[in-house]
Structure 1
Amino acid sequence: MKPAPASPLFAGPFALATLSGPGGPEFPALVTPDGHAVDLRTALDDERLTVRGLLVKWPEVLPRLRSLAADADAAADRRPLADFHVHAPVEPRQVFQSGANYRRHVIDLHVAHRAPGDDRPEEERRAEAAEIMDRRAQEDLPYVFIGLPSAITGPYDDVVLPAWAEKPDWELELAAVIGRPAYRVSVEKALEYVAGYTIANDLTDRATVFRRDMPQIGTDWLRSKNAPGFTPLGPWIVPADSVTDTGDLRLVLELNGETMQDESTKDMIFNVARMVSYASQSAQLLPGDLVLTGSPAGNGMHWGRLLRDGDVMDGSITGLGAQRTRCVAEVAS
């Protein structure tokens, strides 16, 4: 399913996508804001090229892409985007996910995930969560964990809800795409390592987030977040220099046409630069890797309405386009 055409599709002169034609292989494409695509294998004379391959040599290839975008109207293989299937824009080697990074969202979750026997009034638990968030900000302590690339799917693909997932939920997120190897980079220099940005919907089964059988272990991100297709990604990567201010982007998620999430990245506790820098202190970030920056308020636990068979999610972020995914219940074997 593809969203209704919009013009322009994204900010800036071009974006990167991974496409395929009927029965054909996936290929990297330069996409123009008016909805056309140019096959970069032909344009850059490399039949084995991938979007991740472009990101590996991002500093040197970016000027060539800008030149191609300026002359895209004259490209011999320029074709309408509607002729192709849109896949996730990149296959990352690593996915870094940020937890508890939107203040209002975390407070809502704190209230929704009431511990057994906690009968305190909602106002008291909200105040407790707010104090925790303020302390985290003061102590400069982001929270990052690892996701699996196998959970990624395309921006218009169906999402299969596993039979075991009792409380599947949505989490629209801004994702930074790494363009240079980054290890122990400073906050001041972190954005120099970001090639661009895309949209991620980091689905979560709320029923399996916490190990109630072993509370001392805490969260179980493998079980709750990494089912196949639980991270719709894309539709494309918009270069960083086309995104003017990651500190004030609007994230909107609609469920069956009803707005559920509508928030600015202003509500982030830690900004994109801080998240990239923090992740790089422990691990080396590689070209094509993703740093998901957390999800704002308005998830299903807040509304008391979780995902079910037939639901359609429309997610958009300022300047990055939109994705549409339909939920399909897993057929019991």
Structure 2
Amino acid sequence: MSTLAQPAGPFALGTFSTPGGAPFPGLLARERVLDLSRTLPWAPSDVRAVVERWDEALPLLHGLAADDALDRLPLEGLRVHAPLEPRQIFQSGANYRQHVIDLEVAHRSPDDPRTVEEARAETAAIMDRRAAEDLPYVFIGLPSTIAGPYDDVVLPAWAEQPDWELELAAVIARPTYRVSVEEALDHVAGYTIANDLTDRATVFRRDMKAIGTDWLRCKNAPGFTPLGPWLVPAGSIADPGDLRVTLKLNGDTMQDESTKDMLFGVARLVSYISHTSRLLPGDLVLTGSPAGNGLHWGRLLRDGDVMEGSITGLGVQRTRCVGESA
């Protein structure tokens, strides 16, 4: 696990525990972990408490990462939890050009007179116009969906079509309200990996279609957002708009796309959200998922499946699906 999971840059942050011990905020460097609750002056109890003082913490973290005299624990043998617990989760939908095209074709009516090629071409033109002229589509999720990067994912008995959606997640560094696109990335502490699971069967209400989407039901089951393994500082990621997002299911590659395919990049998403809501330190901005979800392949998640998700420089998460008894 440790070799594949090494992040970009000199260090990353995470939440760890020893066997039988309580979780603690840690600095990972060279496959060894420093307990930040014992080494930072304000003794943070968790990673969010580090992010809440990000401007003060960042130079200290660089110094700690370079100090080989400090007592560290080997990564091997530690349990890795979700890197932090956000107060708020903002989720971007329909944000990858090819993904939206695939979904539009998959969901089109049997009575649609267009060929597949015509439907794809028409949707592609709409997406290009949307990226140039329109606003992002963002909804909110619950922190109770957060799970660790190696935890089992329980598939609820009611979920008929559970699906994967691997995403780049930005972690907010400071209170952020009404910032411009040009200022937005200055408010990002770093990045991590999120798998934003969705039950496709309950995305749209069956009892009254005019109500629209039901994000509570389809996305907010406990553990439906495996997060991590690491929080990698923004300074270690040269360009969040040029990262490879890859998800493998039982070893087979299902998603493999660059964040270049995003319609709205991290800066536009953060700026847009901040003009409605006040983002807080540690909040997550999920940036959407690329093409290659289960609906596209006609293969949804089931008991025993193993998902392996990676993003350039951010490590690897592996989660096993466990079906819940009816």
Q: Given the two structures, how large is their TM-score scaled by the length of structure 2?
A: 0.97
- Matched residues in 1 for 2:40 and 2:310: separation? 30
Partner of 1:65: 61
Partner of 1:327: 321
Q: Which one of the candidate residues 150, 154, 158 is aligned to 1:156? A: 150
- Matched residues in 1 for 2:2 and 2:79: separation? 15
- Matched residues in 2 for 1:141 and 1:5: separation? 40
The number of residue pairs the alignment matches comes to: 326
Match status 1:19 vs 2:16 = yes
Q: Which one of the candidate residues 183, 195, 213 is aligned to 1:189? A: 183
Partner of 1:202: 196
Match status 1:105 vs 2:99 = yes
CA contact (8 A) 2:2 2:75 kept: no
Q: Which one of the candidate residues 54, 70, 90 is aligned to 2:50? A: 54
Letter matched to residue 23 of structure 1: G
Spell out the pairing of 1:114-193 with structure 2 (5 A cutoff): 114-115=108-109, 117-118=111-112, 120-193=114-187
- Matched residues in 2 for 1:119 and 1:323: separation? 42
Q: How far off its partner does 1:117 sit?
A: 4.0
- Matched residues in 2 for 1:122 and 1:279: separation? 34
Instruction: State the 4+ residue runs in structure 1 displaced beyond 2 angstroms.
Output: 45-49, 114-121
Letter matched to residue 282 of structure 1: T
Q: Deviations over 1:287-324 (max 9, x none)?
A: 00000000001100111100000000000000000000
Identity rate, percent: 72
CA contact (8 A) 2:5 2:316 kept: no
Which is further off, 284-293 or 206-215? Answer: 206-215
- Matched residues in 1 for 2:125 and 2:201: separation? 25
Q: Which one of the candidate residues 69, 74, 77 is aligned to 1:74? A: 69
Q: Which one of the candidate residues 20, 28, 53 is aligned to 1:31? A: 28
CA contact (8 A) 2:27 2:33 kept: yes
CA contact (8 A) 2:2 2:76 kept: no
- Matched residues in 2 for 1:36 and 1:246: separation? 26
Match status 1:10 vs 2:4 = no
Letter matched to residue 105 of structure 1: H
RMSD, aligned α-carbons:
1.3
Q: How far off its partner does 1:113 sit?
A: 1.6
- Matched residues in 2 for 1:115 and 1:128: separation? 15
- Matched residues in 1 for 2:279 and 2:92: separation? 14
Q: Deviations over 1:90-142 (max 9, x none)?
A: 10000000000100011001111233643542222212321221221121311
Letter matched to residue 256 of structure 2: D
CA change 1:190–1:47 in 2 (3 A) is closer
Which is further off, 134-143 or 229-238? Answer: 134-143
- Matched residues in 2 for 1:145 and 1:156: separation? 26
Partner of 1:214: 208
Match status 1:233 vs 2:230 = no
- Matched residues in 2 for 1:207 and 1:240: separation? 36
- Matched residues in 2 for 1:318 and 1:253: separation? 12
The residue matched to 1:5 in structure 2 has which SS?
coil
CA contact (8 A) 2:193 2:310 kept: yes
Which runs of 5 or more residues in structure 1 are unaligned? Answer: none
Letter matched to residue 13 of structure 1: P
- Matched residues in 2 for 1:7 and 1:69: separation? 20
- Matched residues in 2 for 1:27 and 1:142: separation? 36
CA change 1:56–1:248 in 2 (3 A) is same
Q: How far off its partner does 1:240 sit?
A: 0.3
CA contact (8 A) 2:7 2:230 kept: no
